[in-house]
Chain A
Amino acid sequence: MENTDKIIDNTITNSVLHKANTRGHANHGWLESHHTFSFANYQNRERMNFGVLRVLNDDRVSQGMGFGKHPHDNMEIISIPLEGDLEHQDSMGNTTVIKEGDIQAMSAGTGIFHSEYNKNKDQLVKFLQIWIYPNKKNVTPRYDQITLDLNDRHNKLQQILSPNPEDDGVWIHQDAWFHIGKFDNDFSTSYELKKPGNGIYAFVLKGDFTIGNNALNERDGLGIWDRNTIKITANSANAEILLMEVPMEL
């Protein structure tokens, strides 16, 4: 049977659009956060998750401030710094700094404690905090952090996360793949899903894009399912997008 998705059309029917200004917002002074999905005091039954993607927080932390020591279990936690430096400490003995171009992944498993602070006294740190339900409960906690080559995402999709320890990027306990692309204006590419049945959540980091019949601006999110391929077009210069392919069922 012909894969009709190969004929890329402009109509995506199985999708959900989350415009940036409809996200939950919390301002705690030291922390300003936008929540794509229900989190803490932002509760919206229509925005609980996209498949196993449960948390997408767009955080800004003031100079020298941060999240004190707190616990997690049974969750795959990914942090992507967008600006500034984040200082990480955890109960596994890791003390590290992650900066723009790095990606951090933690498998909380049976339980970890960690803290994340803005390393700098003179600038904000901006980062994405992403939580994925694991495909296996009660795993041994683990921590991983890598530095990515930022040139490797110019007009292409750079893989930054996968389920495979041997593959590019960090790995997690879930059949999920993340990519980031930084495109010139009018540049188009397509993304073919790695696993049948998975969905894809696109989140615009910078600039403007079109995916199918959806125009996306900075910090908009678009979830798509029941599709094997999507076409992505940048509508502005230096447009950046994060693609998160995830299973649709826990």
Chain B
Amino acid sequence: METIHILYIGRHLEILETVIRLINANENWNGVGVMNDEEAKDVFLRKDFSLVLLGSGIQEESETELCAFFKNIYPNISIVQHYGGGSGLLKSEILLALENNKN
């Protein structure tokens, strides 16, 4: 099965590490976590991501700029606001976004 690459951006290191650990617990998913916007853009250019998760601490201005950047590179990219930290919602959000990608 094809590996699904997921980019998580968040400002809280411990939450970032938890989210990435949870993503990578699924053998078909590969998570990459970054804390700052420039690194996010750089990583996005180097890997074929299916999904971007926006985590905690990202201000509106950054969010707008990041979304515009990602959409400009790959118009069909799914960008999802992730709520709740490393929680029982993460799987739902990812599955739903991937399903919406297919439709």
Interface residues of A (CB under 8 A from B): 38-41, 43, 45, 48, 54-55, 70-75, 108-111, 113, 131, 133, 137-138
Contact = CB atoms under 8 A, between A and B. Distances in A.
Contacts of B87: 70-72, 75
Contact of A108 (B14, B18, B84): B84
A55 B88 contact: yes
A41 B4 CA distance: 19
Interface in B34-86: 55-59, 83-86
A72 B86 CA distance: 6
Contacts of B14: 71, 111, 113
Contact of A70 (B18, B57, B95): B18
Q: What is the predominant secondary structure among interface residues of chain A facing chain B?
A: loop
A18 B83 CA distance: 24
B85 A48 contact: no
Interface of B: 10-12, 14-15, 18, 55-59, 83-89, 91-92, 95-96, 99
B61 to A, nearest CB: 12
Most buried by B among A38, A45, A74, A133: A74
B85 A108 contact: yes
A71 B88 contact: no
B92 A111 contact: no
12 contacts: A48-B92, A70-B85, A71-B14, A73-B10, A75-B83, A110-B11, A110-B12, A111-B56, A131-B84, A137-B56, A138-B57, A138-B58
B99 to A, nearest CB: 8
Given A70-B18, A110-B56, A43 B92 contact: yes
A45 B92 CA distance: 9
Given A71-B86, A74-B56, A110-B12, A43 B91 contact: yes
Contacts of A74: 56, 83-85
B83 A54 contact: yes
Contacts of A55: 88-89
B56 A70 contact: no
A43 B95 contact: yes
Most buried by B among A38, A41, A45, A73: A73
Contact of A71 (B18, B58, B83, B89): B18
